[in-house]
Structure 1
Amino acid sequence: MDTASHLLLGVTLGGLAMALSDPAIGNHSPIVYGLFAATIVGSNAPDFDSVIRIRGYESYLLHHRGFSHSLPMLVGWPVLLTPLLSYLFHAWDYMLLLFLWTLAGVMLHVFLDFFNAYGVQCFRPLSRKWCHGDTLPIFDPVIFGLHLVALLLWLFGVMTAQVVFPLLFVLTFLFIGYRIVIHRLMLHVVQRRYGVEGYSFLVPQWLPHKWGYVHETDQTYIAGSIRGTLLVEETIFQKGEQNDAVQAVMGSDGVRSFLAFAHRVHISCQKIQNGYKVEMRDVRFRHGEKLPFGIDITLDDHLQVTGNSLGWKKKLWEPPFS
């Protein structure tokens, strides 16, 4: 999910930690602050790998949501962070409690990222496969709104922490379960339309009754949208050319990084002055007939790679917001 959502859910998870802990802890404000720090930092720790962006977008794409979100780091982050939190909040006697709630924050982060279309390498080192549940958008307004309202109800004294935060997380997981059910129903709609031949997947939108879809055939990607049970086919992308220029770029570092991340790719190639230009686009991230996420590679007339541009080909405020 996006950073703002991870931050907000870290705060509300801190409220849950306070609500479920020994009431005597409420009389020790440093411990309460420590619990909130544990859940907030834990809920954002896996994204500390974003610092690798200083090495370029290629490294960021290759490593973000990788080892930092892996099985070892589910425990690794709490092991690293708990002594620091215990020191800062003078909470050595509560190290186990801080460890458990830091662990809860990390697990919640990876759990939510798993359900995005972007995906996560959460089973490393057992597998380097990108896993994605295709159920939640990067920013889910329903989840964000629920947690914001619950936090405000607590801050303004309308509801106690012991009531509002357990109820909030029950509603959150029920909503995620609801989206999982809707995802399966909508996927059946697509599969009924196109049959069992080929591969279909959904791209979640902000509201649970609206989805994008892609159906892959041998030569094409058929893309469209679903609202309720109404399926609308919107555009078709050819999988793309396989020529000498395309083959020549396959071994370049930027392309390897992109293909390690992208699951379904549209490829085009054109002759330009003094060479060729190969464009590869990830069909998951579509806006209308445009595929704004991918890599452009230029080659000279001898099919030697002369440069590449990897990332989003859109303005920051333009969709898709992934």
Structure 2
Amino acid sequence: MDTGTHVVMGVALGGLATLDPVVQSDPMLFNAVLIGTLAGSQAPDFDTILKLKNNAVYIRNHRGITHSIPAVLLWGIGIASIIYLFTPEVNFLHLWLWTFLAVILHVFVDVFNAYGTQAYRPFTKRWVAYGFINTFDPYIFILHIVGIVAWNLGANPGYTWLIIYFVITLYYGKRYFDKRVLVKHIYNHFEEVQQIATSPTLRQNVWRIAITTTSKYYVARAVDGHITILDEFAYKEIDDEDPIVEKALTDHNIRAFLSFSPVYRYEVNYFDEYTEVRFNDLRYFSKGRYPFVALAQIDDEHGDDELKILNSYTGWVFTEEKLQDKLTVASETK
């Protein structure tokens, strides 16, 4: 989920904690728990700082190890321990339990959007992205704002948040079944489907879809169950026997992209000065282009034995001009 939603979820868990008799009877513990749930609801996204290094490192690691099972355990213990240093008189067990719950909730809700997490590490590095809740869901966010306002107006925080989270649970169930109906519809209308990547939008009845079959990639949009094909390409495996492609696959930006993207197409473009290998993630088609991209420009004028990567990039770019600007900047900083 987005940062704002994680923040309000931290507040909500602080309110739910008042249902705990130990927390309810100790104002200092309640304040410590509220700090813990707010910190815990943000902690797994600490890896956002990696963006300061470069996009490749960020893409490979964001929502990776910081959202793993060992990290979830360590975040809860670490945050609770730091708070306990300043409030040693509070009940550590209850402080840790509510802080730990905030971290768990953060990772749990992240698996339901299209971006996903590596929540099952260390057992697998597979990205878990169930793709039926938007990264920012206005209904979920608004329900939390309603709860915060009601709490400030004097409503019982424990029962208020209990009711709101019951409604949100029903909402998750609805969106899950919305996706199931959509996926069934896709299987009924496309042959030899291998993979379906769904991305919900801010509108309940509109979905972005990327479909992989044995012969084609389809980029589509579903509105009220009606699927419109926006783009399609012949299915093509990566030809790692092509020296140009093989060289591109050694680049850190290309490797980062491939470690994250589950459905993409690639193309090789030949120019006078270099040969370009470009990958486009098919899940994020917007305004006629694929904004999540990775490419490598390779100098091949001296033959296959002396291939050299001149430049490369991966990240979100919404115009070709902006992409070329970023490549220029990257080249100048080498």
Cα deviation for residue 238 of structure 1 reads: 4.2
Tell me which residue corresponds to 1:191. 187
Cα deviation for residue 314 of structure 1 reads: 2.0
Given the alignment of the two structures, is residue 148 of structure 1 paired with residue 148 of structure 2, yes or no?
no
TM-score normalized with structure 1 length: 0.91
Cα deviation for residue 87 of structure 1 reads: 2.3
Tell me which residue corresponds to 1:319. none
8 Å CA contact 2:17–2:158 kept in 1: the answer is no
Give, as a single letter, the amino acid of the residue that structure 1 aligns with 2:144: H
Q: Could you tell which deviates more after superposition, 116-125 or 46-55?
A: 46-55
Given the alignment of the two structures, is residue 120 of structure 1 paired with residue 117 of structure 2, yes or no?
yes
8 Å CA contact 1:239–1:267 kept in 2: the answer is no
Counterpart selection for 1:313 from 314, 317, 320: 317
SS in structure 2 at match of 1:284: helix
Give, as a single letter, the amino acid of the residue that structure 2 aligns with 1:312: W
SS in structure 2 at match of 1:208: coil
Cα deviation for residue 198 of structure 1 reads: 3.4
Tell me which residue corresponds to 1:16. 16
Cα deviation for residue 27 of structure 1 reads: 5.9
Q: CA, structure 1 residues 40+167, in 2 after alignment: closer, same or farther (shift >3 Å)?
A: same
8 Å CA contact 1:7–1:43 kept in 2: the answer is yes
Distance 2:192 2:269 in 1: 34
Tell me which residue corresponds to 2:270. 271
Identity rate of aligned residues, in percent?
A: 26
8 Å CA contact 1:8–1:147 kept in 2: the answer is yes
Matches within 5 A, 1:91-130: 91-130=88-127
Tell me which residue corresponds to 1:211. 207
Tell me which residue corresponds to 1:318. none
Given the alignment of the two structures, is residue 74 of structure 1 paired with residue 78 of structure 2, yes or no?
no
TM-score normalized with structure 2 length: 0.87
Q: 1:48-69, CA deviations, whole angstroms, 9 ceiling, x for partnerless residues?
A: 1222223211111111111111
Tell me which residue corresponds to 1:251. 250
Distance 1:288 1:221 in 2: 18
Distance 1:162 1:99 in 2: 18
Distance 2:73 2:15 in 1: 22
SS in structure 1 at match of 2:124: coil
SS in structure 2 at match of 1:80: helix
Distance 2:93 2:106 in 1: 20
Cα deviation for residue 278 of structure 1 reads: 1.7
Tell me which residue corresponds to 1:55. 53
Tell me which residue corresponds to 1:320. none
Q: Unmatched 5+ residue regions in structure 1?
A: 316-322
8 Å CA contact 1:34–1:91 kept in 2: the answer is no
8 Å CA contact 2:113–2:135 kept in 1: the answer is yes
Distance 1:314 1:36 in 2: 39
Cα deviation for residue 253 of structure 1 reads: 1.8
Distance 2:89 2:129 in 1: 38
Distance 2:50 2:204 in 1: 33
Given the alignment of the two structures, is residue 33 of structure 1 paired with residue 31 of structure 2, yes or no?
yes
What is the number of residues matched between the two proteins?
311
Q: Unmatched 5+ residue regions in structure 2?
A: 302-306, 320-334
| Cα RMSD (Å) | 1.9
Tell me which residue corresponds to 1:7. 7
Give, as a single letter, the amino acid of the residue that structure 1 aligns with 2:8: L
Distance 2:189 2:70 in 1: 42
Distance 2:101 2:204 in 1: 26
8 Å CA contact 1:31–1:91 kept in 2: the answer is no
SS in structure 2 at match of 1:235: strand
SS in structure 2 at match of 1:268: strand
Cα deviation for residue 224 of structure 1 reads: 1.2
Q: 1:93-139, CA deviations, whole angstroms, 9 ceiling, x for partnerless residues?
A: 31111110111101101111111111111111111111111111111
8 Å CA contact 1:182–1:208 kept in 2: the answer is no
Q: Could you tell which deviates more after superposition, 263-272 or 189-198?
A: 189-198
8 Å CA contact 2:14–2:37 kept in 1: the answer is yes
Cα deviation for residue 153 of structure 1 reads: 1.3
Given the alignment of the two structures, is residue 165 of structure 1 paired with residue 177 of structure 2, yes or no?
no
Cα deviation for residue 26 of structure 1 reads: 4.4
8 Å CA contact 2:193–2:214 kept in 1: the answer is no
Distance 1:197 1:172 in 2: 32
SS in structure 2 at match of 1:93: coil
SS in structure 2 at match of 1:216: strand
Give, as a single letter, the amino acid of the residue that structure 1 aligns with 2:316: W
Tell me which residue corresponds to 2:329. none
Cα deviation for residue 8 of structure 1 reads: 1.2
SS in structure 1 at match of 2:209: strand
SS in structure 1 at match of 2:269: strand
